[in-house]
Structure 1
Amino acid sequence: MRVDFYQLSRDPVEAALPLLARATLKAGERMLVVSGDPAQLTRIGEGLWALPDSFLANGRASDPHAKRQPVLLSDQPEPANDARFLALADGVWREEATQFARTFLLFDQATLEGARGVWRQLRGREGTERHFWKQEGGRWIEAA
Structure 2
Amino acid sequence: MRVDFYQLGAAQPDSVIAAIAAKLVGEQQRLLVVAGDEGLLARLDRQLWDQGAASFLPHGLAGGSDDAAQPILLSTGTDAPNLARNMLIADGEWREAALGYDRAFYLFDEATLEGARLAWKLLAGREGIERNYWSNEDGKWVKKA
TM range (shorter): over 0.9
TM-score, length-scaled by structure 1: 0.96
Instruction: Output aligned runs, 1:1-144, within 5 Å.
Output: 1-51=1-51, 53-144=54-145
What secondary structure sits across from 2:24 in the alignment? Answer: helix
| 1:17-53 Cα deviation digits (max 9, x unpaired) | 0000011112221000000000000111122222365
Segments of 5+ residues of structure 2 without an aligned counterpart are none
| 1:46-81 Cα deviation digits (max 9, x unpaired) | 222223651101101101101100000000010010
Q: How many angstroms does 1:12 deviate by?
A: 2.1
Query: Where do 4+ consecutive residues of structure 1 move more than 6 Å?
Result: none
Segments of 5+ residues of structure 1 without an aligned counterpart are none
**Matched residues, number:** 144
What secondary structure sits across from 2:22 in the alignment? Answer: helix
TM-score, length-scaled by structure 2: 0.95
Distance in 1 of aligned mates of 2:128 and 2:118: 18
What secondary structure sits across from 1:24 in the alignment? Answer: helix
Identity percentage of aligned residues: 44
Distance in 2 of aligned mates of 1:139 and 1:51: 21
Q: How many angstroms does 1:143 deviate by?
A: 1.2
Distance in 2 of aligned mates of 1:45 and 1:132: 26
Distance in 1 of aligned mates of 2:27 and 2:4: 16
